[in-house]
Structure 1
Amino acid sequence: MPELPEMENYRRKLSDRILNIPISKVIVNREKSINVHPDEFQATLIGAKVIFVERRGKHLIFHLNDGRRLLLHLMLGGLLYMAKEEEERPSRSTQIEIFFGDRILCFIGLRLGYLHLLTAKETEKALRDLGPELMDRRMTKERFVRLLGTRRGALKSLLVNQHAVAGIGNCYADEIAFDAGIHPSAKVQHLSEVSLERLYDSAVKVLEEATEGGGYMEMPFSTDDRLTGGYDDQCKVYDREGEACVRCGTAIARIEQSGRKAFYCPSCQHEE
């Protein structure tokens, strides 16, 4: 599932390609991926312009020039692809296509994901339960420590809880825990203030590096995209079961935690 770095990568690339270009055509191949009738969806978008692309957690918000919004959540398996010519279209089927001049923004894999047409107020309501973001300028180490100090439960479960902290999923929760040297099953309420401060530093470091590295998504955003997916090879533990730890050489292990896989180093990460 795309997480904060992947969605921020998409946001930056979209901001360079689609802003203030009138939408000339809209194709809806899967009605369940939108929240209104396809005729209304198409009629509203054709002729409209995206004036700003915002990211909130794992969501993208396309601000339209009439004040309305398109709220995107790719969920599990969702991808974006920008085709410039008809022959550049991806081989996978698309659920929605939006045409910006000679570019086509393809929404792929929206089996669980969605692109909803909303008012500003409806968008705010849809996102109101999301927790704060670690990359927000208002987030500080002190605030992070206070925030986690009110929580209980396993570290990984907390990091992927979008009501607690927005934007982190399975991959980066594991990478953050590894960088901080904390076991994914460690109880947050038992972590010292020093450990929580180290966790904050690791979270900021991993998310910044992953964002600048293009995230871990394998499929490029366009034919000339050389960045997207670049961070995949830099993951230290996620999906690396059996491989040698880059710190100590111990084999990376995998456990099941609340129905999720968690990858970690048995030697480097401790429950403290």
Structure 2
Amino acid sequence: MPELPEVETTRQGIAPHCEGQIISHVTVRNPNLRWPVPDDLAARLTGKRIKHVDRRAKYLLIHLEEGAVIVHLGMSGSLRIITGDTPPLTHDHIDMVLHSGTVVRFNDPRRFGCWLWADSPETHPLIAHLGPEPLSPAFSGDLLFQRSRGKRTPIKSFIMDNHVVVGVGNIYANEALFKAGIHPKRHAGRISLDRYRKLAEAIRETLSAAILMGGTTLRDFVNSDGKPGYFAQVLLVYGRTGSPCTQCSTPLKEIRMNNRSTVYCPRCQR
């Protein structure tokens, strides 16, 4: 599933082609995504100018002069920048055609993504109650410490909760906890302020590095130019079960938490 770095990579890829452009028309080939594409979406967008393209958590926000389109890539979706004469493939569900001739094409084999309209995206139910962005000044170890008091939730589940902080998906939670030396099953309420400050920095460092490298190569993810991300080449624990720890050479262990793969070093993470 595309996570925050993959979505941010997509935003950076499509924004220069979209911002300031007028939408000529929109073609919806299949409206049956996770939530049905609004019947009036094409009418709302046609003739409107795109002001800017933002990201909130794993949602892309295509802001017009009034209102915005909320786009989610789901488990297998992607946005491609293509030319208008590129024939659509089976899972190419939506085309947003710009006056420049550029087409923003949405492909989603599993159809778990979405294209929704919002008059005010900040108050939309999908957006309104999200936690802070991990790369923003609003996020800190002090914030994590305050929100964790009294909680017996495993720390990995805690930092993956979008109400606590957005965008720390499974891969990046594994990596950040390893860098911070924290066992993924330790109770969130039993971690000190100093360790939370180290964890917050590890989260920022991990996500920033993944964005710079174009995201993590997953089976279904490609960025806006059709190329995969390459952060997987430098993963320290995720996908390396049984391999030696890069710090102490102890074989890495794997457990299942909330039905997700969790890899850690039994010696370095406490």
What range is the shorter-chain TM-score in? Answer: 0.7 to 0.9
Shift of 1:57: 0.9
Indicate the SS of the match to 1:269.
Answer: coil
Shift of 1:123: 4.7
TM-score under structure 2 length normalisation: 0.88
Contact 1:69–1:123 under 8 Å retained in 2: no
Give the aligned residue type for 1:249.
Answer: S
TM-score under structure 1 length normalisation: 0.87
* Residues 1:153 and 2:153 are matched in the alignment: yes
Contact 1:253–1:266 under 8 Å retained in 2: yes
Contact 1:178–1:265 under 8 Å retained in 2: yes
RMSD over aligned CA atoms reads 2.3
Distance in 1, Cα, partners of 2:216 & 2:121: 33
Contact 1:237–1:264 under 8 Å retained in 2: yes
Distance in 1, Cα, partners of 2:38 & 2:96: 16
* Residues 1:73 and 2:72 are matched in the alignment: yes
- How many percent of aligned residue pairs carry the same amino acid? 29
After superposition, the Cα gap between the structure-2 partners of 1:121 and 1:70, relative to the gap in structure 1 and judged at 3 Å, is closer
Shift of 1:242: 2.9
Which structure 1 residue ranges, 5 or more long, are not aligned?
Answer: none
- After alignment, is 20-29 or 176-185 more displaced? 20-29
Indicate the SS of the match to 2:240.
Answer: coil
Distance in 1, Cα, partners of 2:49 & 2:113: 23
Contact 1:9–1:215 under 8 Å retained in 2: yes
Which structure 2 residue ranges, 5 or more long, are not aligned?
Answer: none
Q: What are the equivalent positions in structure 2 for 1:40-119 lying under 5 Å apart? A: 40-65=40-65, 67-84=66-83, 86-87=85-86, 93-100=91-98, 101-109=100-108, 111-119=111-119
Q: Which residue of 1 aligns with 2:267?
A: 267
After superposition, the Cα gap between the structure-2 partners of 1:252 and 1:119, relative to the gap in structure 1 and judged at 3 Å, is same
Contact 2:93–2:106 under 8 Å retained in 1: yes
After superposition, the Cα gap between the structure-2 partners of 1:31 and 1:123, relative to the gap in structure 1 and judged at 3 Å, is farther
Count of aligned pairs between the two proteins: 264
After superposition, the Cα gap between the structure-2 partners of 1:185 and 1:15, relative to the gap in structure 1 and judged at 3 Å, is same
Deviations 1:111-157 (A, max 9, x none): 11111012116753431121122211233333332233354310111
Distance in 2, Cα, partners of 1:124 & 1:194: 35
After superposition, the Cα gap between the structure-2 partners of 1:51 and 1:260, relative to the gap in structure 1 and judged at 3 Å, is same
Q: Which residue of 2 aligns with 1:201?
A: 201
Which structure features the higher share of helix residues?
A: 1
* Residues 1:222 and 2:220 are matched in the alignment: no
Give the aligned residue type for 1:234.
Answer: V
- After alignment, is 118-127 or 2-11 more displaced? 118-127
Deviations 1:74-126 (A, max 9, x none): 22222222213534x68662121211232221212251111101211675343
Distance in 2, Cα, partners of 1:253 & 1:92: 40
Distance in 1, Cα, partners of 2:84 & 2:264: 43
Distance in 2, Cα, partners of 1:106 & 1:242: 40
Deviations 1:157-200 (A, max 9, x none): 11111112111111111111111111111111111222212111
Contact 2:151–2:187 under 8 Å retained in 1: no
